[in-house]
Amino acid sequence: MKLKATMAAAMILSAMAFSTTASADTFTLGRTILLEAKNNHAKIPVPLCRNAKSIQIKAERDVFLSKVIFKFQNGSSRVFQFQRKLDKNERTDWRRFSYERCVTDIQVHGRAEDGSAGIRVYGRK
C-alpha cells in the first residue's frame, strides 16, 4: 500500500515538472488534487524552484477561490486576493508579480461545495 502511494506521488510530481500548455512560455506551476470543505486551504509544494513573472488559476471543478499565497526562494511571499466563484474549467486573469520570481510554495485558500475541487496554477515568464 505504501509502495502504491509512493509511486502515485512520483507520477504526479513528474507530470507537474514536465507538463506545459499551448504556449511555450506558459507552464504548470502546480495543482491540487483535493480541496476539502472542512480544511479550506491546500498546500502545493513546487518540486523545483520555478521562475515566473505572472500566474493564472484554473478550476478543474466548481470552487470558491478566496486567495492564493506564493512563497519565493528568498523567503518573501505574495498574496493574490480573488474572492470569487470559478466554474469548472474557468480561468482567472493573469496576475503579475513585480518582476520574475522563483516560486517554491503555493497555498490555495477556498472551498468546494462537494468537498473536493481541483485547482491548477499556471505560470508565465
Q: How is the chain split into domains, by residue range?
A: 2-124
pLDDT tens for the chain, 125 residues: list them: 454 444 444 444 444 444 444 456 899 999 886 656 666 788 888 888 899 999 999 998 888 899 999 999 999 999 999 999 999 999 999 999 999 999 999 999 888 877 778 899 999 99
Fold entry, domain 2-124: Jelly Rolls (2.60.120)
The confidence score (pLDDT) of residue 70 equals 96
Question: Could you tell me which of 60, 58, 50 has the C-alpha nearest to residue 124?
Answer: 50
How far is Cα 37 from Cα 52, in angstroms, rounded to an integer?
29
The confidence score (pLDDT) of residue 47 equals 83
How far is Cα 22 from Cα 36, in angstroms, rounded to an integer?
30
How far is Cα 3 from Cα 9, in angstroms, rounded to an integer?
10
